[in-house]
Amino acid sequence: MKKLVLIMLIGVFTLVACSDDTESDSSEQAEDSPAEETNQEETEAEVIDDADVPSEVIETADAFLSALAAGEFEQSTENFSEMMNTELDAEEMEDLWNQLNEQLGDFIDYEYQQTQQVDEFYSLTYQGLFSGEEVNLEVAVDQDNQIVGFFVTPA
């Protein structure tokens, strides 16, 4: 379970680090205009209709999970953002995937559940089925169709 938490933290750190630039830009704008500051609230994730999710975003997330399932770890990291690549290379991705399989049992399959959007980020949730447990596999994709986070949470 500790390793599962580590995977989630890597994803969270990566997503936060990638969104840092846009947040600082927003806060600089808010400092310039006090009226804008009161209108800027923290944006919450909102589940969006599947038809509103760009097909490229779905393809990026699906290709990532398919590559993981096939044991093609170099391919799985091809669409990582620059920040994600600095945090998690193909060898480390393989280690993490193997740890998941050790903890949860052999990987069996995954099935798309929903997509949430926060600003320019999409978080696609899949039900991941391992021989010992079901989990949520969340893949965060930015507006450039780059993977900026990978999260594993209890189902």
Residue 110 clears pLDDT 90, i.e. is over it: yes
Segments of the chain assigned E as strands = 46-48, 107-118, 121-130, 134-141, 147-154
Residue 130 or residue 4, greater confidence: 130
What per-residue confidence (pLDDT) applies to 80?
A: 98
What per-residue confidence (pLDDT) applies to 63?
A: 98
Amino acid code (one letter) for 13: F
Give me the domains of the chain, ranges plus CATH numbers: 2-154 (3.10.450.590)
Reported confidence tier of residue 42, pLDDT bands at 50, 70, 90:
low
pLDDT in tens, 43-83: 678 999 999 999 999 999 999 999 999 999 999 999 999 99
Q: What residue has token string 């998941």? A: 100
Report which of 138, 137, 140 is spatially closest to residue 119, judged by C-alpha positions.
140
- pTM summary value: 0.74
